[in-house]
Amino acid sequence: MKYVEMRKEFDIEGVGFEVNISNTGDVNFHPISGMTEKGSLPFHFLFEDDPIFSDINLFRNPIKIFLKVGDIILDWVKINKPYTFAFNSSTNRKNKVYGYFAKKLGKKLPNYNMVEHPVGTFRFYRIND
């Protein structure tokens, strides 16, 4: 099943982020510009998932980022009512933070069950119409 694609940008703590939700329900979010307390984002960071720079310690408060991404996902789910959608962490160190985020998001989506499989991949399935 195809859904309406969504692309949103937002800024948190001086860093620009982009959220993309595909027409198949795959969610991807990443920084696109700016500086953190550790300095400017390296150029290659915008194009690949470098485990040194793409980690939860790059930002003071990743929860702010997840809250904003969660709101964008909730808006998309409200519009599309998808059967399924998913996102995954890009490094092992992020698994716990993404798991926390997925559980919080799941509480706001009572018509969906969340399954983590494999570790670090979080897929939501609609349980009723």
Weakest mean pLDDT among 31-35, 71-75, 91-95, 113-117: 31-35
Please give the model's pTM, rounded to 2 decimal places.
0.80
Give 35-80 pLDDT, tens digit per residue: 665 555 554 444 444 444 444 455 666 778 888 999 999 999 999 9
Give the architecture (CATH level 2) of 6-126: 3-Layer(aba) Sandwich (3.40)
Predicted confidence band at 4 (pLDDT cuts at 50, 70, 90)? confident
pLDDT at 13: 78
Report the alpha-carbon distance of residue 21 to residue 8 in Å, rounded: 9
DSSP per-residue codes, 54-100: SSGGGSS-HHHHHHHHHHHHHHHHHHH--SEEEEE-SSGGGHHHHHH
pLDDT at 42: 54
With H, G, I as helix, E, B as strand and everything else as coil, classify residue 53: coil
**CA-wise closest residue to 106 among 75, 70, 80:** 70
pLDDT at 51: 44
pLDDT over 90, % of the chain:
45
With H, G, I as helix, E, B as strand and everything else as coil, classify residue 13: coil
Q: Which residue has the higher pLDDT, 93 or 106?
A: 106
